[in-house]
Amino acid sequence: MESLWLLVSATVFLSIATFLLCTNSTKFFRKNNGNTRPSPSSSEIQLPLGTLGWPFIGETIEFISCAYSGSPEKFMDKRRCLYGNVFKSHLFGSRTIVSTDAEVNKHVLDSKTFIPAYPRSLTELMGESSILVTNGNLHKKLHGLIGAFLKCPQLKAQITRDMQKYVHETVNHWKDDQLIYIQDVSKNIAFKVLVKVLIGLDPGEEVQFLNQQFHEFNAGIISLPIKIPGSRLYRSLQAKKRMMKVIEKIIQEKQKHNSNEIPKDIIDVLLNDSNKQLTPGFISSNMVDFMIPAEDSVPVLITLVVKFLSECPRALEQMLEENMKLQILKDEMGGFLCWSDYMSLPFTQNVITEALRLGNIIGGVMRKATKDVQIKGYLIPEGWCVFAYILSVHLDDKHYDQPHQFNPWRWQDNNIGTCNFTPFGGGQRLCPGLELARLETSIFLHHFITQFSWVAEEDAIIHFPTARLKRRMPVCVKRR
């Protein structure tokens, strides 16, 4: 979710940059060496080295151009050579301390001193009461309720059944030599699972309507913060209102038949809580907001794995063998695959882990310091943003041998629970759905690779604002 900050801010500042370039104002574009702050203090010398770049625009343009290239870490590598793993910059309109240091990133993600920093257009879309921007006790309460629910065995069993069903319904229509776009297919399946988990809706007209409105809403994330009729942001807000009306009707129906049964979806979880802040409007708004980070994570992870397997026949062969053994065993026993079966496949989980490391669904996380903080000898001033850049850590040869090579075997003896591996963020805002993301990915991959062989067309990963495949990963499938 945090990386969406980059998405909105980039659009705003690229537009401003275009205007400023057209003005040809050499006075405005005088270089800023970044050696001073508006209110200098005796601790100024403790600021990390670096430059703030051009006035107002800073170094945003160069960062974005590198992120769109095949080597997104170029921006960071250049500055790490000059200034070290932690340096100052000016990105997306804010003075920023950029960290490519795993220990500093962990401190930033774990500390309550650092809070999410989003631009106005995104807060307009989400609302000030969104769990994605709230802090303190309310955020802790919501995160705890949702996290506990997402870990319960009943939900995992439900998601396993639903995911298997939706995958089967999808692939049963595929024909030999048909061109399939993995990113699109997985998005469609994952959205159905997501809506069922959030609000308890099965696929049908309402889910289709929500899907259409969500894409209209989501388009406003890439927009200028102008909220007037006809503007992109205004249309997105209207789409959110339409979605909220559907969800509020569902909430009203649930309230009429209120019971103490085991919660079947997140709305049930929140309605069963006694907190008076959890009003129908609050709940319906947050259900829409939850779709923003969740709608992309699973489909992109699935797509990344298919891409990397397509480029590594040895890994595909070993993963196919592992999954076929499981399928044959279940067929002989006459049982159905359950969530523990999928999660018990060690090499498959290593493949997913490596795809998370190399693919980097979330390139970095933005936070803002609420007071002066010193970490490992660096000063992070109050009000400055901190960009904990995860991608650089995951691609650092000090942490991983041949880091740009897809090598799932590296995880056979490695512990993934270290500060060098943080694909889902960390701290109190660690993604509560990380286990479910692995589960859904495992289910899709099992059925895809055991039922089909494929030839992948060439495609490339774009790392801005979040990872995705430029051509949506086209593959020509053939049933085994």
180, 475 Cβ separation under 8 angstroms? yes
**Cα–Cα distance measured from residue 272 to residue 219, given in angstroms and rounded to the nearest whole number:** 33
The answer to the question of residue 427 being in a domain is yes
Supply the pLDDT for residue 119.
66
Position 11 in a domain = no
**Type of residue at 93:** G
Q: Which domain holds residue 315?
A: 44-479
Q: Which of 450, 449, 442 is nearest to 475 (CA)?
A: 449
Residue 6 covered by a domain: no
Cβ atoms within 10 A of the Cβ of 455, count?
A: 12
List own/partner pairs for 261-266 with CB under 8 A and 24 or more apart: 262/154, 263/149, 264/158, 264/200, 265/196, 265/197, 265/198, 265/199, 265/200, 266/146, 266/149, 266/197, 266/198, 266/199, 266/290
Whether 368 is covered by a domain: the verdict is yes
Provide the number of structural domains found in the chain. 1
CA distance 456 to 472: 11
- Model pLDDT, residue 38: 43
pLDDT value for 278: 92
pTM of the model: 0.89
State the residue for tokens 């103490």. Answer: 260
List, in sequence order, every residue forming a beta bridge with 54; answer none if it has no partner.
58
Question: What pLDDT score was predicted for residue 259?
Answer: 66
What's the pLDDT at 465?
74
The verdict on whether residue 81 carries a ligand-binding annotation is: no
| 411 phi/psi in degrees, rounded to 5 | -95, 0
State the DSSP code for 469. Answer: E
Q: What is the structure's pLDDT at 39? A: 43
Residue with tokens 């774009």: 462
The answer to the question of residue 20 being in a domain is no
Going residue by residue through the chain, which has 480 residues, state the pLDDT in tens, using 9 for 90 and above: 444 444 444 444 444 443 333 333 333 333 344 443 444 443 454 899 999 999 888 999 999 899 888 888 899 999 999 999 999 999 988 999 999 999 999 999 999 999 988 766 677 888 878 887 888 888 889 999 999 999 999 999 999 999 999 999 999 999 999 999 999 999 999 999 999 999 999 999 999 999 999 999 988 876 778 889 999 999 999 999 999 999 999 999 999 887 667 899 999 999 999 888 899 999 999 999 889 877 789 999 999 999 999 999 999 999 999 999 999 999 888 888 999 999 999 999 999 999 999 999 989 999 999 999 999 999 999 999 999 999 999 999 999 999 999 999 999 987 777 899 999 988 888 889 999 999 999 999 999 999 999 999 999 999 887 789 999 999 999 999
24 assigned to some structural domain: no
Residue 21 in any domain: the answer is: no
- What is the CATH number for 411? 1.10.630.10
Q: Provide φ and ψ at 447, rounded to 5°.
A: -75, -30
In a domain, 408, yes or no: yes
SS3 35: coil
